[in-house]
Structure 1
Amino acid sequence: MYVSRILVNGVNKDLVKQIKGLFSELGYWIVYNDPDIIISVNSINNTIRKYFAKFHNKIIINVVPDGSSVIPLTKEHSGGSLISSFLADSLGANLVLTTSTGVKGLYSVEEFSWLNGFSIYGYDRKIVNSLNKKLVTEGKVNVYVDSYKGNYILYDGYSLVDHKTKADLIISENVDSMEDKSSNRLYLIPSGIYIGIRYLESTPLDVLVYSLRMTLKSLYILNDRIDYIVVPSSLKNDKKLHQITKYYYYNIIYGSDVDERSSCEALLKELKVKVLLKDVRRAFGVITCLGVK
């Protein structure tokens, strides 16, 4: 579900350069081939003409040449609005949303999952569309939490219920418990969010907490949820790693003692984790990266 490979192109070269810098500083990959996201600084007609035929299944975002408006043209529910929202805020631009949930200021089911760091198990477009319609028309989607102890946020329109028979969405860590897969409800499972982090032992605890939070926020995961923190084994005796549990619910994985010049990404690649956000220096020399598995 999460995407991080961005192609930026368009007629305003200064604005293109600015947008590339914004996303690169967050850890996104700026690419020229095989993008997940296309940001086109152009007229809507020219953007459609240039990219729709080849990239209709990707997130396509249009930025008008003067930078005054940002419009997600495809996959608004599947990350398009979230990426566009960050871009609009950064540019001081108007964000133009066109889906029924976006117009009402509600997060779709897909966006609810993204923001909370979940994946939709056995994605069924028909059920997703039905629940998004229910969110708009009735203003309420019911959520049941089953065998999950991590953080989550109930955004506007999402309400907690006390039994799964009342639920539209079920948050669960146990795939085996999903006995009613044929019903008109969806299961959300943790996406397996890994953050690799390299730092000096003298780094203050609050700096580590801030760096982790900024890493999650860079991918628009807003509930401070991490499944695994991966650090070099040389930090095994650092008490701060366990003090962080006051802020996050997570497991610690100790990777190899990599050379100081090695990348943070090496910690995740060693675990065969798909790296989404590359190495970024956050604060006081703390380096983080993020991946999913």
Structure 2
Amino acid sequence: MFLKILYALYVSRILVNGINKDLVKQIKGLFNELGYSIVDNDPDIIISVNSINNTIRKYFPKFHNKIIINVVQDGSSVIPLTKEHLGGSLISSFLADSLGANLVLTTSTGVKGLYSVEEFSWLNGFSIHNYDHKIVNSLNKKLVTEGKVSVYLDSYEGNYILYDGYSLVDHKATADLVISRHVDNTEESSDKLYLMPAGIYVGIKYLESTPLDVLVYSLKMTLKSLYILNDRIDYIVISSSFKDDRKLNQLSKYYYSNIIYVSDVDELCSCETLLKELQVKVLLRDVRRAFGVITCLGVK
């Protein structure tokens, strides 16, 4: 029997600490407003406002397998120290833009201004099927040395973005990356990487009078908060009381989404409750994106 194994990159639990307490407070406030969980333990991401030497000594022994980002004391530079190509550069880029700071990247793809295969997957809302370090490293090396990685669309009609270095091909046999909604054992190849929709769920609560363009904007901001720049949501989740709202059909077409109506949900419940009813892992907590619009985001 076929077993689907997906490697999802997304992270949301952030520990922020450092010697510039005002800057630490500012960074915490920034990510909290976006819906991230600010934690004191078990983080996915560590943002340290300190010297690189002190950051490494304090966090690397225990958290070397997490994203560690160093921010210099005056907030002028942001430097991802670990997992740069696994989301560190994207979170760092968002932070640097927010602080008006310099972003310092050191990986071969980052230096060339290219998105790694993992970053390409993250930005497009994909998961990597049967993640293989050797294949991924080989493709990232090809991206740097040859300047291109070939992409084939197989049973996939959703939205996607081809960034610099990525180009479409007409035949699967010549592709490095295959984007597909379904992968089985007969289709797998030892030299290809398969990307599948990550199962992006966005819960939404809004006033019935909210215009469609405000809803579109709110969902776009929700995706961007997790640094997903592709306008595609796999599932829009909402209370069944909105079944007669025609705006939802237009919204689902714009984002290539399926709509899931959750029944028996109290009108006063949180947006997160909609996702938890479906056993979805919540990444971004309830956030007011516009007047009368609250969203949250998760993966499954």
The code of the aligned residue for 1:63 comes to V
Q: Do the aligned partners of residues 221 and 267 (structure 1) sit closer, same or farther apart at CA in structure 2, a change above 3 Å counting? A: same
The code of the aligned residue for 1:210 comes to Y
RMSD: 0.9
CA distance in 1, matches of 2:120, 2:179: 12
**1:181 to partner: Cα distance:** 2.9
CA distance in 2, matches of 1:240, 1:107: 35
Partner in structure 1 of residue 219 of structure 2: 212
Structure 1: which 4+ aligned runs deviate by more than 3 Å?
none
CA distance in 1, matches of 2:241, 2:253: 22
CA distance in 2, matches of 1:132, 1:180: 22
Which residue of 193, 197, 203 maps to 1:186? 193
Which residue of 10, 14, 17 maps to 2:25? 17
Which residue of 269, 275, 287 maps to 2:276? 269
CA distance in 2, matches of 1:188, 1:267: 27
**1:180 to partner: Cα distance:** 4.6
1:129-171 CA deviation, whole Å, 9 max, x = no partner? 0000000000000000000111000000000000100000000
CA distance in 2, matches of 1:123, 1:270: 29
Any conservation in 1 of the 2:152–2:172 contact (CA below 8 Å)? Answer: yes
Any conservation in 1 of the 2:236–2:252 contact (CA below 8 Å)? Answer: no
CA distance in 1, matches of 2:269, 2:263: 11
The code of the aligned residue for 2:229 comes to L
Q: How many equivalent residue pairs?
A: 292
Structure 1, unmatched stretches of 5+, are: none
The code of the aligned residue for 2:159 comes to N
The code of the aligned residue for 2:209 comes to S
Which stretch shows the higher mean deviation, 34-43 or 247-256?
247-256
CA distance in 2, matches of 1:241, 1:114: 26
Which stretch shows the higher mean deviation, 256-265 or 18-27?
256-265
Any conservation in 2 of the 1:256–1:267 contact (CA below 8 Å)? Answer: no
Partner in structure 1 of residue 296 of structure 2: 289
Any conservation in 1 of the 2:252–2:258 contact (CA below 8 Å)? Answer: no
User: Could you tell me the TM-score, scaled by structure 2's length?
Assistant: 0.96
CA distance in 2, matches of 1:180, 1:150: 20
1:82-139 CA deviation, whole Å, 9 max, x = no partner? 0000000000000000000000000000000000000110000011000000000000
Any conservation in 2 of the 1:61–1:73 contact (CA below 8 Å)? Answer: yes
CA distance in 1, matches of 2:186, 2:127: 18
The code of the aligned residue for 1:50 comes to K
Any conservation in 2 of the 1:5–1:36 contact (CA below 8 Å)? Answer: yes
Is 1:102 the equivalent of 2:110? Answer: yes
Name the SS for the 1:153 alignment partner.
coil
Which residue of 135, 146, 165 maps to 2:143? 135
Any conservation in 2 of the 1:234–1:257 contact (CA below 8 Å)? Answer: no
User: Could you tell me the TM-score, scaled by structure 1's length?
Assistant: 0.98
Is 1:203 the equivalent of 2:210? Answer: yes
CA distance in 1, matches of 2:44, 2:263: 31
Any conservation in 2 of the 1:169–1:187 contact (CA below 8 Å)? Answer: yes
CA distance in 2, matches of 1:28, 1:67: 20
1:38-88 CA deviation, whole Å, 9 max, x = no partner? 000000000000000000000000000000000000000000000000000
Identity %: 85
